[in-house]
Chains A and B, each alone.
Chain A
Amino acid sequence: MDFTSQFWVYLIFLVTVLSLVFVVVLAYKNRHTSSAANETTGHVWDEDLTEYDNPLPLWWLYLLYLTVIFSAVYLVLYPGILPNGGLLKWTQIGQYDAEIATANETYAATLAAYGQSSPTELAKNAQAMKTAARLFSQNCALCHGADARGAPGIPNLRDDDWIYGNTEESILTTILDGRTGVMPGWGQVLGGREASEDVANYVLHLSGEVVNTESVNRGKEKYKTVCIACHGVDGKGNQLLGGMNLTDRVWVHGGEFEQIVDVIENGVTNQMPAHRDIVGETKAKLLAGYVISFSN
């Protein structure tokens, strides 16, 4: 019990025990009544309605004793009145752990079989994908959406754009160890707001948008000085570094001019949390297979 003082523990113990004893004593002492059989309670309603004071069956009293015994046993076996929990050592977390252990045992064989296959093989296994869909909705859908099409700042898993590549290994690494995507803020380096806008126009131009040609040319020069390191000469990105492809019209952080300028100026840090401890290797394989199955 999480009381700051043991005083309360003992008070509750005392009050509970005394109440139980009181109930028994009260019932026992009042086995007899002063009113005779077939006597009325003395209450009169509606001028002539009276009520018999008839005796209860004796087993009714025994039922009361039984409930008292039951509650005493229950309070001692389960966390009730003893200072250190019940004699059975039952706890909520203990029951939870036991149920998880049972579930793990139940699914161990199925999962072990899945563990032998590669994600690509699993992607073709309809039964495995059913399991994977459940795992996805439990672990991934909260950010990536029930339809896996992402959200602002969170990548769409159903398109053909792969930030870190679409090999089994890279998808597994993403799920198990997570990814930290860092786009530094380049506002100062590029030389202010206007320079960032030029670069943004160049980026839009890479995606085939029709924008101010002069600004694009200025932006291109700036692009070559900094952006090229991660996003590449042609703007197609670098999957080893997680540099995003700027030419495919897929915008994780928004494709509006203002949004692009903001990312260039202030940067953005994105985090895919590691799931090794949460799902483990086998379930990660299933999930990787699920993501691969989108492309089939």
Chain B
Amino acid sequence: MTDTQHQLYLQHEKIYPREVHGKFALFRLLGVVGLLGLYFLIPWLDWNGRQAVLFDLPGRKFFVFELVIWPQDLYFLAALLVILGVSLFLFTALAGRLWCGFSCPQTVWTEVFLWIERRVEGDRHKQMRLDRGGISVDKFWRKSVKHVAWLAVSLATAVTFVGYFKPIDELLLELLGLSLHPWPLFWVFFFTVATYVNAGWLREQICLYMCPYARFQSAMFDADTLIISYDPRRGEPRGGRKRGIDHRAEGLGDCINCKMCVQACPTGIDIRDGLQYECIGCAACVDACDGIMEKMNYPKGLIRYTTENRLNNKQSKLVRPRSVAYSLVLVALIAGVSYGILNRSLVEVDILRDRNVLYREVADGIENVFTARILNKDQQAHEYRIEIDGLDSTAILIDEAQLIVPAGNVADATLTVRANVETQGSQDIVIRITAQDNTEISAETVAKFIAP
């Protein structure tokens, strides 16, 4: 390797974030406990005798408490995704990378893994010493315990995750009884490995190299967005000093160059270099610096949540075109989707024209044959009646006398529609089905009636 040659690829260096205590660390702890609590608890909730939240892929039905989403309703999920996207935009515009620092699964699980690592291997310095040192009994058991603990958390995560797609009590029983079908078993294995590798090994590299949000979030930023920033006006020139001296008189700023902020950073950057895309906004450096400022008897907030405008001694506005626009879009979307979900039809009908002949001439008329596929999306059985509009004189023959469709089921009914002999050409007809016991539950479809 000559002097002009450099590695195109970077050997990864492990980051050992220093454990910090403070306002934001507490805030994140609450977030982690709350979110993980929800994640692990939700699959165990029951609703009307079934799992409250279950994404039944083989059955093509998603259950979310009272709501049952059929493949035909999938746009609700798409809309939900758009709502989440826009709310991410809004929160990013207002408060920067709130998502990354406090609620992203990557952060939440990494936080858990870091906690385990610190309990087993000790603080940052002990961890570094352990990794530098050669193999020893102490190192061996500490590493073993750590990885076993990591894998245990990963396994719990994976089982819970698969439990959102396959009833979790069933899943656990089959897993413990070693009778789990190979596919769920594969996914349990897959998500165990994925969690272990992500939160144990990849950590900040996901944010730096893979996460698309990390790269495009800057598009939502403006000068009024909350960012974590070092205040160079107050801090510079930085430098070490003796305790209790008047550092202003010495020509020094408030920054004592202790590098606590760098050690606390989970992505390994120096916040004093300014806003960087690597910064996930976790505020660990804020807590770290505030602790030092307190010890030095300096005012807190050398590193703080602020905005570009306020850093430059300008006014920062909460209400501005960007935040207003995102809010309006968000409100409109939420209103639209709520309206859609509350007013969605609990029955749907698909009309399939029979494939063998266009029409059939019989003694007393002309017949067309359709298959009506009735989807009862309600959670109780209904008996339906079928009506037809658009032909002068029609009769419908339904060969299956009963049109009772059980709750959450699909039934086919063959309809023979008979028009009088004089009917000519093709014309649109409306096929409408209505629940006998509740005329509000109704659906209609336009079909073609074909005559000679």
B135 CB to closest chain A CB (Å) equals 24
B371 is an interface residue with CB less than 8 A from chain A: yes
Inter-subunit contact A145/B369 (CB<8 Å): yes
Which residues on B sit within 8 Å (CB–CB) of A249? 363
State which residues 34-82 of A face B: CB under 8 Å.
34-37, 54-61
Among A58, A143, A144, A154, point to the contact of B12 (Cβ < 8 A).
A58
**B8, B360, B370 — most chain A CB neighbours (10 Å):** B8
Inter-subunit contact B205/A149 (CB<8 Å): no
Inter-subunit contact B360/A143 (CB<8 Å): no
A258 CB to closest chain B CB (Å) equals 13
Inter-subunit contact A32/B397 (CB<8 Å): no
Contact with B along A134-159 (1 / 0, CB 8 A): 00000001111111111110100010
Which residues on B sit within 8 Å (CB–CB) of A141? 354-356
A4 is an interface residue with CB less than 8 A from chain B: no
B416 CB to closest chain A CB (Å) equals 5
A31 is an interface residue with CB less than 8 A from chain B: yes
Give Cα A158–Cα B416 distance, bound, in whole angstroms. Answer: 12
A33 is an interface residue with CB less than 8 A from chain B: yes
Contact with A along B51-77 (1 / 0, CB 8 A): 000000000000000000000000000
Inter-subunit contact B397/A147 (CB<8 Å): yes
Contact with A along B395-406 (1 / 0, CB 8 A): 001010000000
Inter-subunit contact A152/B357 (CB<8 Å): yes
B88 CB to closest chain A CB (Å) equals 26
Among A55, A142, A154, point to the contact of B10 (Cβ < 8 A).
A55
Inter-subunit contact B355/A142 (CB<8 Å): yes
A53 CB to closest chain B CB (Å) equals 9
Inter-subunit contact B414/A61 (CB<8 Å): no
Which residues on B sit within 8 Å (CB–CB) of A192? none
Which residues on A sit within 8 Å (CB–CB) of B216? none
**B10, B11, B367, B370 — most chain A CB neighbours (10 Å):** B10
B271 CB to closest chain A CB (Å) equals 18
Give Cα A60–Cα B369 distance, bound, in whole angstroms. Answer: 60
Which residues on A sit within 8 Å (CB–CB) of B9? 31, 55-58, 60-61
Inter-subunit contact A55/B7 (CB<8 Å): yes
Among B209, B357, B370, B416, point to the contact of A57 (Cβ < 8 A).
B209
State which residues 1-23 of B face A: CB under 8 Å.
1, 4-12
Inter-subunit contact B7/A149 (CB<8 Å): no
Which residues on B sit within 8 Å (CB–CB) of A254? 361
Contact with B along A226-254 (1 / 0, CB 8 A): 00000000000000000000000100001
Inter-subunit contact A146/B6 (CB<8 Å): no
Inter-subunit contact B12/A33 (CB<8 Å): no
A184 is an interface residue with CB less than 8 A from chain B: no
A269 CB to closest chain B CB (Å) equals 19
Shortest Cβ distance from B205 into A: residue = A57
Inter-subunit contact A58/B11 (CB<8 Å): yes
Which residues on B sit within 8 Å (CB–CB) of A59? 12
Inter-subunit contact B209/A152 (CB<8 Å): no
A184 CB to closest chain B CB (Å) equals 26
Which residues on A sit within 8 Å (CB–CB) of B356? 141-145, 151, 154
Inter-subunit contact A35/B6 (CB<8 Å): yes
Among A56, A146, A152, A158, point to the contact of B354 (Cβ < 8 A).
A146
Inter-subunit contact A32/B6 (CB<8 Å): yes
Give Cα A294–Cα B361 distance, bound, in whole angstroms. Answer: 21
Inter-subunit contact B369/A147 (CB<8 Å): yes
Given the known interface contacts A34-B4, A34-B5, A147-B369, the answer about A57 and B12 at a Cβ–Cβ threshold of 8 Å is yes
Given the known interface contacts A32-B1, A56-B209, A59-B12, the answer about A151 and B360 at a Cβ–Cβ threshold of 8 Å is yes
A180 CB to closest chain B CB (Å) equals 20
**B9, B355, B367 — most chain A CB neighbours (10 Å):** B9
Which residues on A sit within 8 Å (CB–CB) of B414? 146-147
Among A30, A146, A152, A294, point to the contact of B369 (Cβ < 8 A).
A146
Given the known interface contacts A57-B209, A60-B209, A141-B356, the answer about A146 and B371 at a Cβ–Cβ threshold of 8 Å is yes
Inter-subunit contact A33/B5 (CB<8 Å): yes
Inter-subunit contact A32/B5 (CB<8 Å): yes
Inter-subunit contact B8/A158 (CB<8 Å): no
Contact with A along B207-220 (1 / 0, CB 8 A): 00100000000000
B394 CB to closest chain A CB (Å) equals 15
A280 is an interface residue with CB less than 8 A from chain B: no
Shortest Cβ distance from B357 into A: residue = A151
Give Cα A115–Cα B397 distance, bound, in whole angstroms. Answer: 32
Give Cα A293–Cα B330 distance, bound, in whole angstroms. Answer: 57
B245 CB to closest chain A CB (Å) equals 36
A256 CB to closest chain B CB (Å) equals 9
Shortest Cβ distance from A54 into B: residue = B10
A273 is an interface residue with CB less than 8 A from chain B: no
Inter-subunit contact A56/B12 (CB<8 Å): no
A255 is an interface residue with CB less than 8 A from chain B: yes
A-B CB contact pairs (8 Å), 15 listed = A33-B5, A34-B4, A36-B6, A37-B6, A55-B7, A56-B8, A56-B209, A58-B11, A142-B356, A146-B370, A147-B354, A147-B369, A149-B360, A149-B367, A149-B369
Closest 7 CB pairs of A and B: A55-B10, A151-B357, A32-B5, A58-B9, A33-B8, A147-B414, A146-B354
- Give 16 new A-B contacts, CB below 8 A, not counting A32-B6, A35-B6, A56-B10: A30-B8, A31-B7, A55-B8, A56-B8, A56-B9, A56-B209, A57-B10, A58-B10, A60-B209, A143-B356, A145-B360, A147-B354, A147-B399, A147-B415, A151-B356, A151-B360
